[in-house]
Amino acid sequence: MATTGEERFWETRTLADLTKAQWEALCDGCGKCCLHKLEEEETGQLFHTNVACRLLDLRSGRCTHYAERFRWVPDCVQLTPAEVRQLRWLPATCAYRLRAEGQPLPDWHPLRTGDPHSTQRAGMSIIHWAAPERRVRRLEDHILERAP
């Protein structure tokens, strides 16, 4: 677990006031934001798929080229405090979304457990059910019935 310089910072600081290390530590590593989404052009309706970004390692649940992800995947979304409030597709369990809404982190979150694998142990990660992008021909064939 990364040192953030302040215990329970997520309860005392706003998203905008987090250091870079604290911002990164807030991510639980679920991988849900790394799933491809499709948008219906006419209605704007969003469809979630079970297809993971090609950079997501489905063994660890982490990006294989995190520091350079925007170069490899130009449409990768840069989460910022302002963006978090706008992105309604973020999962209900997303720590960024929860904190933006003034909600507590779930009991299984790595910052609360001290265990970097607690998201996976709690079954909240996509690593066991996501399809790797390189094995998928049509995203439309992988639409989920409900958001993850």
Any domain includes 78: yes
Q: What is the pLDDT of residue 3?
A: 52
In whole angstroms, what separates CA 27 from the centre of its chain? 7
Which one, of 128, 110, 106, 131, lies nearest residue 119 by Cα? Answer: 110
CB 111 within 8 A of CB 16: no
Q: What is the pLDDT of residue 6?
A: 75
Answer positive or negative: Cα dihedral of 65, 108, 1, 60. Answer: negative
Any domain includes 68: yes
pTM, full prediction: 0.89
Any domain includes 17: yes
Tokens of 74: 């130009």
Q: What is the pLDDT of residue 7?
A: 87
Any domain includes 48: no
User: What pLDDT, in 10s, does the model give residues 112-141?
Assistant: 999 999 999 999 999 999 999 999 999 999
- Show the domain range for 66: 9-33+55-126
Any domain includes 47: no
How many domains does the chain divide into? 1
Does 1 have pLDDT greater than 90?
A: no
User: What pLDDT, in 10s, does the model give residues 67-109?
Assistant: 999 999 999 999 999 999 899 899 999 999 999 999 999 999 9
Any domain includes 40: no
Mean pLDDT for 41-69 is 95
Any domain includes 137: no
Strand 35-39 vs strand 46-52: parallel, antiparallel, or unpaired?
antiparallel
User: What pLDDT, in 10s, does the model give residues 2-13?
Assistant: 555 678 999 999
Q: What is the pLDDT of residue 4?
A: 59
Does 62 have pLDDT greater than 70?
A: yes
